[in-house]
Structures are given as C-alpha cells and as structure tokens.
Amino acid sequence: MTATVKMYSSDWCPFCIRAKQLLDSKKVRYEELKVDGQPALRQKMTTESGRTSVPQIWIGSTHVGGCDELYALERSGKLNILLDEA
C-alpha cells in the first residue's frame, strides 16, 4: 500500500497509540505530526479537520477522523480500499 497518510497525534493519547498500531500492522507508512506543546500546529489541525481531539487522520485527501473512525473502516473492509486508492 502506497497511500499518503497523515496523522496529528500526541504522545500521551491512547487513541493515537491504537491508531498507529493498526497502521503499523498493515505496514502503512504515515507522517506523524505531534501537537504536544505546539499550539500553532494544533490550531492548524483544528482548522483542517474542524476537530480539536487527536488523532486526526487523513488518507490521501480524505479526512478519516479519529481512531474510532479508522477502526470502523477496518471492520467494514473499507480501510484497505481507501489505502489502495490514495
């Protein structure tokens, strides 16, 4: 899978850890942008996603949302399709 994946995250976020574990298990490379102590980066994330919580994940140009949405895509069988299309 060669999708471009971007994830805003925090070191202390259990949902970020779970999201990374799923992507790692699929051998997906992703760009991780840590918002810890980075108010300008957190603001950029909020502006791009409309959300203030982490993780915020994009696959290609598609905003997936957070960890729950990522796992929902996996359960529905749509995550691999999205990764392949991106």
Where do the domains of the chain lie?
A: 21-85
What's the confidence (pLDDT) of residue 41?
Answer: 98
How much is the pLDDT for 1? 52
Nearest to 60 by CA among 28, 34, 25, 37: 28
Which CATH superfamily includes the segment(s) 21-85?
Glutaredoxin (3.40.30.10)
Residue 2's pLDDT is 61
Tokens of 19: 């999201």
Sites in the chain below the pLDDT cut of 50: none
Global confidence as pTM: 0.93
**Tell me, what's the pLDDT at 86?**
79
Q: What average pLDDT does the chain have?
A: 95
The reported pLDDT for the residue numbered 85 is 86
